[in-house]
């Protein structure tokens, strides 16, 4: 089990994930944008496009406008997720001392580690709660129930389990792993060194969490999780700059036409002295 999940599978995971995503994105890039199906009102400059797409992708603008409850659940979930993923990368990379590197704030490495711990715990719980809320919506609200397929519910349950295991590792010290252990492990994997002797692979919670993550990454390109890229692909199609042709009917002089009384029956025009 340790060998499979800890030594062999990671390489398979990275390969399948990378090739899978490239393959699926390739199927999007090949077909063209045949007609202009932009939505109006359209942005006038590329900066406006960036602001619009950014506000949709990172602030969930449309959700906010039309369904505040869903917006709240969705943004809490995604923000927590972003912070956790970022925290995994930065936290393990800098052993929790990343905040001490920010100049001028005077944060000691010890304080930074404590902050990392705390942020990890908080966002882990937030993510868990947000996922529960989204699952609750999917099971109880009629419109959402009507559009859901089994896989939609399964994904939420899967993520809840995955995040739950992660939270257990965070909340119960005995079940957790240290930053240094993970960093050493990842570095060894990257350098193709043997890892099966490492201590953290004896931790059942770690193995579970790690396996669930890897399965998620393998399945990622073949699931709706591709909406990560879909957001930008779709917005690239429907939110674009469009230049209207200038208005103005050629060769007209409205004032002159009115002075000349165009349209006014000829006897009236004669009266006006034209």
Partner 1 sequence: MPEYKGMVQPVRATPDEMRKIFAEPVPDEQKPEKAIEYLDEIRKKFRSFVVAMESCVKCGQCAENCHTYLGTRDPNNIPANRAELIRKIYRRYFTLEGRWFGKLVGAEDISLDVIEQWYSYFYQCSQCRRCAHVCPFGIDTCEVTFIGRQLLHWLGITPKLHAAVGGAMEKVGNHTGLPKPGIVDTLEFMSEEIMDEFGVEVEFPVDKPDSDIIYIPSSADFLLNPYTLMGAGMFFTYIGANWCIPSNVTEAGNFGLLFDQYYTQRGNVNRLLNAAHELNVKKIVWGECGHGWRAAKMYVPSLADRPVRWPLTHVHDEAAELIRRGELKLNPENNPEPVTLHDPCNYVRACGLNDNMRTIMNAVTVDFREMNPHGVDNFCCGGGSGILFDDPEMYQRRIQLSQKKADQVRATGVGKDGNGILCAPCSICKAQLYPMVEEHELGVHVHGLIDLLAKALVWK
Q: Could you say which residues in the range 131-170 bind partner 1, by CB under 8 A?
A: 141, 143-144, 146-152, 154
Q: Could you say which residues in the range 232-261 bind partner 1, by CB under 8 A?
A: 233-235, 237-239, 242, 244-258, 260-261
Q: What is the CA radius of gyration of the chain?
A: 29
In whole angstroms, how close is the CB of 185 to partner 1 at the nearest point? 31
How far is Cα 116 from Cα 176, in angstroms, rounded to an integer? Answer: 14
What burial letters (b/e) apply to 148-158, b meaning 16+ CB within 10 Å? eeeeeeebbeb
Instruction: Check residue 68 for interaction with partner 1 (CB under 8 A).
Output: no
Q: Which of 6, 10, 16, 74 binds partner 1 (CB under 8 A)?
A: 74
Q: In the complex with partner 1, which residue's Cβ is closer, 104 or 143?
A: 143
In whole angstroms, how close is the CB of 181 to partner 1 at the nearest point? 35
Among the listed ranges 10-18, 38-46, 99-107, 199-207, the one in contact with partner 1 (CB under 8 A) is 38-46
Instruction: Check residue 266 for interaction with partner 1 (CB under 8 A).
Output: yes
Instruction: Check residue 11 for interaction with partner 1 (CB under 8 A).
Output: no
Instruction: Check residue 265 for interaction with partner 1 (CB under 8 A).
Output: yes
Instruction: Check residue 60 for interaction with partner 1 (CB under 8 A).
Output: yes
Question: Quick check: bond before 41 cis, omega within 30?
Answer: yes
Closest CA to 60 of 77, 47, 48: 77
Closest CA to 131 of 121, 123, 120, 119: 123
Q: Could you say which residues in the range 173-212 bind partner 1, by CB under 8 A?
A: none
In whole angstroms, how close is the CB of 17 to partner 1 at the nearest point? 14
Instruction: Check residue 58 for interaction with partner 1 (CB under 8 A).
Output: no
How far is Cα 186 from Cα 13, in angstroms, rounded to an integer? Answer: 14
How far is Cα 157 from Cα 73, in angstroms, rounded to an integer? Answer: 16
Q: Which of 105, 118, 157, 262 binds partner 1 (CB under 8 A)?
A: 262
Q: Could you say which residues in the range 216-235 bind partner 1, by CB under 8 A?
A: 222-224, 226-227, 230-231, 233-235
Instruction: Check residue 273 for interaction with partner 1 (CB under 8 A).
Output: no
Other Cβ atoms less than 10 A from the Cβ of 194: the count is 10
How far is Cα 168 from Cα 164, in angstroms, rounded to an integer? Answer: 6
What is the total residue count of the chain? 274
């Amino acid at each position: 089990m340790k060998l499979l999940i800890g030594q062999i599978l990671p390489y398979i995971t990275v390969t399948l994930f990378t090739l899978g995503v490239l393959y699926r994105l390739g199927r999007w890039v090949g077909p063209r944008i045949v007609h202009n199906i932009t939505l109006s009102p359209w942005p006038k400059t590329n900066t406006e496009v960036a602001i619009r797409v950014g506000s949709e992708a990172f602030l969930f603008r449309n959700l906010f406008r039309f369904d505040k409850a869903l917006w709240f659940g969705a943004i809490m979930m995604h923000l927590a997720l972003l912070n956790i993923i970022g925290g995994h990368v930065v936290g393990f990379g800098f052993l929790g001392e990343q905040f001490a590197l920010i100049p001028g704030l005077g944060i000691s490495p010890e304080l930074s580690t404590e902050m990392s711990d705390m942020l990890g715990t908080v966002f882990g719980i937030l993510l868990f709660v947000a996922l529960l809320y989204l699952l609750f919506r999917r099971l109880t609200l009629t419109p959402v129930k009507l559009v859901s397929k089994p896989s939609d519910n399964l994904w939420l349950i899967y993520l809840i389990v995955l995040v739950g295991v992660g939270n257990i590792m965070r909340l119960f010290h005995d079940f957790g792993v240290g930053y240094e252990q993970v960093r050493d492990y990842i570095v060894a994997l990257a350098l193709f060194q043997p890892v099966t002797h490492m201590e953290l692979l004896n931790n059942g919670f770690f193995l579970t969490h790690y396996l669930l993550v890897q399965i998620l990454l393998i399945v990622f390109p073949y699931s709706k999780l591709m909406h990560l890229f879909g957001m930008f692909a779709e917005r690239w199609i429907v939110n674009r700059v469009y230049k209207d042709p200038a208005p103005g009917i050629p060769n007209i002089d409205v004032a002159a036409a009115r002075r000349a009384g165009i349209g006014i029956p000829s006897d009236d025009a004669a009266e006006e002295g034209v």
